[in-house]
Amino acid sequence: MQAIIDILKNNNSFIVVAHEKPDGDAIGSVTGLTAFLNDNGKKATALLVDDIPTKFEDIISCPLTRMISANEINSADILIILDSARSSRINLPSNINIDEIKIPIVNIDHHIDNNVNGTVNYINSAAGATAEIIADLAKKMEVSNHWIVSRNCAEMLYLGIVTDTGSFKFTNTTCNTFQAAAYLLSKGVDINKINNAAYFSKALNQLLFEAEMINNHLKCDFDGRYAHAIIPQSLFDKYQFNMKDGETVIEYLREINTAVIAALLYPKDSAVKVSLRSKNSAYPVGPIARKFNGGGHEMAAGITFENKSFEEVDKLLYDAIKEVLEKNEI
């Protein structure tokens, strides 16, 4: 972490980016770190190419850059990549390959399987969120370098922590997570504003979409221990619903009392996307995702299947999950 502190101190211009299809942690860590740098006399750009979930649009107070050229990136001093486990998932504009980046790269993440080859890499899989790592970094620099941590910066980092830990409910929540959150609260975070945006801002069309998904598409197998749903394109069309707002749709499956593993299958362009969640660390979904070239955490992971039908993907997952549930039988 000291190497990163030296880089932040000794350079002037930064581009900050995260993974595609940004979630609360990607958005919170990017905008929080960007605000932190700008508040302390640096020139930082928050690069978020993909659309962000509608519910977060009103609370992001840092300007977002949606498009950039390789030349513009290379004219900055440092590229900072946050929360992005796979180099293929970094949310650069689609016409830019990571190999075209000639400036030093700082890679900060909490995914255990991070394969981004930065100039400096700080991977802490014990952190509940990348925003938790940035909060620790900001706290260190406040003490050792007298950098300021503004309320705006703190609120964005809090957003990252609260969303990636499911409001401190998931197993990735640690003593340090609470300490980082407490530190951010001491900077004046408006918890009500952040929680309203994260948890109480669902559009009616999403609620109707979710109700129909549960009624018509939910399946429970292995005595209810595996809850899964295939969401057809027609359902997205019917409710004009976009998965950029669907980070929490899978929660309904996970909430079922008998469920141990939950899977959501949905179309993305010509591919089938899979979200996986586990409720019990004896049955992790990280290895299942990695088996099919996906990634993520042990308890929350994702896969993209190209050139496969829903039925084929459903069967592959069914078999893989059967194996996990049987092998780890207690």
Q: Can you give the binding site for Mn ion, defined by CB under 5 A? A: 25, 83, 130, 164
Q: In this structure, are residues 193 and 59 in contact, taking their beta carbons and an 8 Å threshold?
A: yes
Minimum separation from the CB atom of position 160 to Mn ion (A): 7
Structure-block tokens of residue 273:
């996307």
CB of 25 to Mn ion, least distance (A): 3
Q: Would you say 114 or 130 has its CB closer to Mn ion?
A: 130
161 phi/psi in degrees, rounded to 5 = -70, -45
**Cα–Cα nearest to 17, from 70, 77, 92:** 92
How far is CA 189 from each of CA 153, 156, 210, rounded to the nearest angstrom? 9, 9, 31
Work out how close the CB of 130 gets to Mn ion at its nearest, in angstroms, rounded to a whole number: 5
Cβ at position 110, least distance to Mn ion in Å: 6
Q: Which is nearer to Mn ion, 25 or 210 (CB)?
A: 25
CB of 227 to Mn ion, least distance (A): 23
Cβ–Cβ < 8 Å for 194, 59: yes
User: At which residue do the structure tokens 């980092």 appear?
Assistant: 157
Distance CA(276)–CA(303), nearest Å, equals 8
With b for 16 or more beta-carbon neighbours within 10 A and e for fewer, the 175-196 pattern comes to ebbeebbebbeebebeeeebee
> How many Å from the N-terminal Cα to the C-terminal Cα in the chain?
40
Q: Which is nearer to Mn ion, 245 or 314 (CB)?
A: 245
Q: Work out how close the CB of 184 gets to Mn ion at its nearest, in angstroms, rounded to a whole number.
A: 16
Question: Judged by CB, which is closer to Mn ion: 38, or 130?
Answer: 130
Three-state SS for 21-89 is: CCCHHHHHHHHHHHHHHHHCCCEEEEECCCCCCHHHCCCCCCCEECCCCHHHHHCCCEEEEECCCCHHH
Report the residue number, 164 or 314, with the smaller CB distance to Mn ion: 164
Q: Which is nearer to Mn ion, 40 or 114 (CB)?
A: 114
Q: Any bridge partners for residue 151, and if so which? A: none
Task: Say how far apart CA 183 and CA 211 lie, in whole Å.
Answer: 38
Residue nearest to Mn ion (CB): 25
Q: Of 100 and 251, which CB lies nearer to Mn ion in the complex structure? A: 251
Cβ of residue 158: shortest distance to Mn ion, in angstroms? 14
Side chain identity, residue 161: I
**Closest CB to Mn ion among residues 40, 130:** 130
Give the residue with the Cβ less far from Mn ion, 113 or 210: 113
The minimum distance between CB 325 and Mn ion, in angstroms, equals 26
Interhelix angle 130-145/2-10, nearest 10 degrees: 70
